Chain A
Amino acid sequence: MGDVIWGNGSNTLSASSFVLNVTHRKNGNRDDYSDMEKITVTSVDLPGMPRNKDDWTEESLRACVVDAFLKCEVERRDESGTIMGKISHSGAGGY
């Protein structure tokens, strides 16, 4: 199992990247994560967000991630320190 972090999305940086305000970290994560991490999305499972990467826009990403509570399954960090990972809506509030 890879590292997992959770938190609320804040501003978007592009059609596939945004800032995550990290609130929870999985016990046993191999790496450390700061309270604010830049994320590049490799794949998504988010209500309202197209599965096909070609259909992503900054607008659609903003509508789906800003303030939303998200789970990030970390794949790796790139050379600039940005996390590459899968983003999903974490559990559900009531569904």
Chain B
Amino acid sequence: MAHATDKGKYFKDSTECRITLKEIFCGITNPVLQIYEAVGRMFPDHSVSLAREFQYDYSQAVIRIHEKGRSVPVHKDNVKYEGREYDVSSIDHQLSCVLHLQESESGGDLVLYNRSWKKDDEQFRNIDFGYSRNLTESSQSYRAPNLEAGDLVIINPIYYHEVTRIIGDVPRITLGMFLGFYSQKRKIVAWA
């Protein structure tokens, strides 16, 4: 069963994840809080906080370790479509926020396409994850150049994006979260 529909498991795993992140960043400033502060400076008239639903905290962040040969196919992220079970699906706008912790020797580039998701695109879905490359082959693309550890990449994830194949033995490691904007309330919530 997917997290997309099993909220009980999601919030249980979120609690465990919070403990793990605390252990990982023990003794240093938690980068999640640093990201909240950076986002707060970008949007000074908005509050920034971790998303909550009833008494449950959403997950703060996800750490992804992409090893040699791994790639992430063309996809979009849209909680309003795929997270309808969750309160955060009522946001007005969504951004994706990725902190690069370690770069691979080569590859692992973020490619962003100038095409946003439409429901009709679901006919181009891959079985397991993402979309057929045919969907974006005629779209303009932008490859994020020379990213280094410590760089924070913020994109509108409803635009298709992918991560190219990792080359070399050094894994690509990132810490990711989403930001949801409630325009009228001038409120930003974060979750992963």
Contacts and interface: CB of A to CB of B under 8 A. Distances in A.
A95 B96 CA distance: 12
A93 B123 contact: no
B127 A90 contact: yes
Nearest to B125: A69
Interface stretch (B32-40, B77-85, B139-147): B77-85
A88 B5 CA distance: 10
A24 B1 CA distance: 21
B5 A47 contact: yes
A36 to B, nearest CB: 14
Interface string A53-77: 0000000000000011101000000
Interface in B1-22: 1-5
A2 B76 CA distance: 30
Interface in B99-135: 117, 119-120, 122-123, 125-131
Nearest to B82: A95
Given A45-B5, A46-B5, A47-B84, A93 B79 contact: no
A8 interface: yes
Contacts of B125: 69, 90-91, 93
A89 B82 CA distance: 9
B120 to A, nearest CB: 7
B75 interface: yes
Interface residues of B, number: 28
A69 B3 contact: no
B171 interface: no
B129 to A, nearest CB: 5
Contacts of A93: 75-78, 81-82, 117, 122, 125, 129-131
Interface in A1-54: 6, 8, 23-24, 45-48
Contacts of B5: 45-47, 89
Interface of B: 1-5, 75-79, 81-85, 117, 119-120, 122-123, 125-131, 157
The 6 closest A-B CB pairs, nearest first, are A94-B77, A69-B125, A48-B84, A47-B84, A94-B75, A91-B128
Given A6-B127, A69-B125, A93-B82, 5 more contacts: A47-B84, A93-B122, A93-B131, A94-B75, A94-B157
